[in-house]
Structure 1
């Protein structure tokens, strides 16, 4: 009986996943919002004895399911980004300036802000830091409405090695690239919370953390990602025997193999695998930037991501009506509201200061673009992974409260951002159109 019910629920949910994107595109709703609602309804339905879901009781499953979801999403993001990142080009580094600002300024400000707020409200210092670190990354899984759409490709006869393909939407590029990188860059701060909870004062481990967790593992993740991406690019596009080139065969499963190789090798070497997977995807795109094979791989990864996200959102919704929010209190509400309405928007706005001129060679964000980029920092599946990972490696005071607060933050973020993103992006498009007409008439 129980297993039959699982098949029915999953079948119904998959039908929803197929129909929802088209059904809700004209409404101030997002697919994640509806899936959370369906999960909540499922959680309220009568279930066989013992057939309930709690992330604390199923921590190993939650850890690996969220890990797989984030990994697939990071590969998808890396394949979708069209803007090149050439390490030896100053122009290329400048073109990524919004991303670097969000990572180097907005993310640390967010961690400091949530940590200080939690500590002020009575949380133990390691617990406050873990909460801040887990909520630091924006989510590449749930932010599809503000992401770039996918890789641009060209017909093989039109491609050259120097094909220039770039992003045209600075807001979508900034939010997508930020989400691709900050999942890996949040890890050092999660480790800091683990060390604080298990080894005591930062004076005992601070220098070790700075040298290895913050610098060494990041460098290792980037290095392994670059090497794996370069090697796979050669295998896919440059093998002397054309019949062995996967790019010509169009086999999209290679994207899944790239995830596993990059993540496994990096974790084995001691680096940050999340970071490596994103870098691997970016490095692969340098081989043949406009090849249609990227679209094939991205389409496959996108479908897999949808299925994994579907499962995670249904489970989160079911858990929300089965007690995962029971430990949330007024402190949870204050922290979540401050994060979504003040800390993230304020920190990101400050990091993006510097208005551009609306010219063909403009660099940066307009005022309207900066406000929208600052506000849409969706929290999601990565936060679930980090909490599951940290609580499995150290004892934190108030771990049940942490789970409730993280779940509340994700749900509120999905609802607030999901219900406003369509009107906001429509407003931005109208503003761009009107501004373009004004320039043309001048």
Structure 2
């Protein structure tokens, strides 16, 4: 009973901190993720907490499901808050980051994982695929503002749209690593992997997200007046949409992450100026923040008192520094070559490829479907990269974005859209 009461107190404190800390840290060169990681390290590393510390490695299945959920909620929120209509030309900077930028990132990380960490092909590709995507959860500080707010300059739009769509490119390489390791989810040879993991699953994810998004948009905004969901004013509808789209798409064999983001974009495109989008987004953002804080506190505890960093030697640290300071900035800069953006914007987009909780989802997923050599090194390398990203990007994002806003004279890309009830 005492442990149960302590858990209730801890949960209450966490919820209050979820609401309070963002206001305290808003103007400080310190991000909410940093505070959560430090809090977890202090609680589990310094205080006499009963029971074992958090163990993501020993609780791989729980790690997979919890990180999966927070990424899903983040993807829904990200899709709802993008004001820019979807299009080939308007999203040109996104395609550059997803195409040459991300593919180069995966290739460079895989080579470095082999050369620096001595990993085999399967483990090197897996680590590269886990670390390549910009995380939609921890990248919220560099994303666009709420729906219809007008806070959508090119840098924020690029990082938001990239974080929403890059799972559709990272997941095929996770499945490639599973195939190389002899797992059952990798496909049947190279041609089987390409047709299944690349062509079918991407196409199914996009199609399912679009169709379900259209159906849900109709039920939300176009049904007879008394029946449409927008009349409820309930923000938790966003959670229902997220889970429905993800589950249905996974059942069809598509990429559920990709489908959720596409469904959110499709839903937003219907009645783009409707005020209900803000309620959906606000609920998703609050739920995402609560889940993110809980998981980052556990991450800090696992890093300080658990076994996540037991294999983090000098070579792992060198790999992590190269991944954050060299690979992503270089790949991003190359991908944005010829995009017609000022150098400071290209540098900012290339630098803020934040790594976060999605990395642990991919890693836990793959380790549940195949046996990989040096699994301990994979966990330690992924954790080190994420921690470096959390502290580096968390301390630099506020001054960097403030500098860009001053250079633009405070102007944003879009103006707020009119209210529609």
Contact 1:266 1:273 survives alignment (8 Å): yes
Distance 1:434 1:301 in 2: 27
Task: Give 1:261's aligned residue.
Answer: 244
String of CA shifts for 1:308-343, please: whole Å, max 9, x gaps. 101110110010111311111222112211111111
Task: Give 2:154's aligned residue.
Answer: 170
String of CA shifts for 1:403-433, please: whole Å, max 9, x gaps. 1111111111010000011111111112222
Instruction: Report SS of the residue matched to 1:377.
Output: coil
String of CA shifts for 1:84-104, please: whole Å, max 9, x gaps. 11xxxxxx3111001000001
What are the residue-to-residue correspondences of 1:420-439 with 2, within 5 Å?
A: 420-433=396-409
Distance 1:235 1:355 in 2: 39
Contact 1:2 1:48 survives alignment (8 Å): no
Name whichever of 34-43 and 323-332 sits farther off: 323-332
Name whichever of 301-310 and 44-53 sits farther off: 44-53
Instruction: Report SS of the residue matched to 2:182.
Output: helix
Task: Give 2:60's aligned residue.
Answer: 59
Contact 2:187 2:197 survives alignment (8 Å): no
Instruction: Report SS of the residue matched to 2:138.
Output: coil
Contact 1:83 1:167 survives alignment (8 Å): no
Task: Give 2:270's aligned residue.
Answer: 287
Q: Residues 343 and 4 of structure 1: is their aligned pair in 2 closer, same or farther, counting only changes over 3 Å?
A: same
Compute the displacement of 1:354 (Å): 2.1
What are the residue-to-residue correspondences of 1:222-301 with 2, within 5 Å?
A: 222-239=206-223, 241-301=224-284
Distance 1:174 1:310 in 2: 25
Contact 2:245 2:260 survives alignment (8 Å): yes
String of CA shifts for 1:252-272, please: whole Å, max 9, x gaps. 222111111111111001010
Q: Residues 236 and 367 of structure 1: is their aligned pair in 2 closer, same or farther, counting only changes over 3 Å?
A: same
Instruction: Report SS of the residue matched to 2:15.
Output: helix
Please point out which of 76, 97, 118 is paired with 1:102.
97
Instruction: Report SS of the residue matched to 1:94.
Output: coil
1:407 aligns with 2:383: yes
Task: Give 1:179's aligned residue.
Answer: 163
Task: Give 2:292's aligned residue.
Answer: 309
Contact 2:348 2:400 survives alignment (8 Å): yes
Compute the displacement of 1:398 (Å): 0.9
Contact 1:233 1:287 survives alignment (8 Å): yes
Instruction: Report SS of the residue matched to 1:244.
Output: coil
Compute the displacement of 1:199 (Å): 5.9
Q: Residues 232 and 46 of structure 1: is their aligned pair in 2 closer, same or farther, counting only changes over 3 Å?
A: same
String of CA shifts for 1:232-291, please: whole Å, max 9, x gaps. 01111111x201111123222221111111111110010100000000000111211110
Distance 2:204 2:404 in 1: 39
1:125 aligns with 2:121: yes
Task: Give 1:417's aligned residue.
Answer: 393
Structure ID, larger Rg: 1
Contact 1:2 1:51 survives alignment (8 Å): no
Distance 2:248 2:187 in 1: 32
Contact 1:78 1:180 survives alignment (8 Å): yes
Distance 2:158 2:214 in 1: 24
Distance 2:229 2:29 in 1: 41
Q: Residues 435 and 392 of structure 1: is their aligned pair in 2 closer, same or farther, counting only changes over 3 Å?
A: closer
- Root-mean-square deviation over aligned CA pairs: 1.9
Instruction: Report SS of the residue matched to 1:252.
Output: coil
Task: Give 2:322's aligned residue.
Answer: 338
Q: Residues 203 and 71 of structure 1: is their aligned pair in 2 closer, same or farther, counting only changes over 3 Å?
A: closer
Compute the displacement of 1:9 (Å): 2.5
Q: Residues 419 and 375 of structure 1: is their aligned pair in 2 closer, same or farther, counting only changes over 3 Å?
A: same
Instruction: Report SS of the residue matched to 1:321.
Output: helix
Distance 1:372 1:46 in 2: 39
Distance 2:175 2:104 in 1: 18
Normalised by the length of structure 1, the TM-score is: 0.89
Distance 2:46 2:124 in 1: 35
Compute the displacement of 1:49 (Å): 4.9
Contact 1:185 1:275 survives alignment (8 Å): no
Task: Give 1:319's aligned residue.
Answer: 302
Distance 1:251 1:3 in 2: 31
Equivalent pairs counted in the alignment come to 408
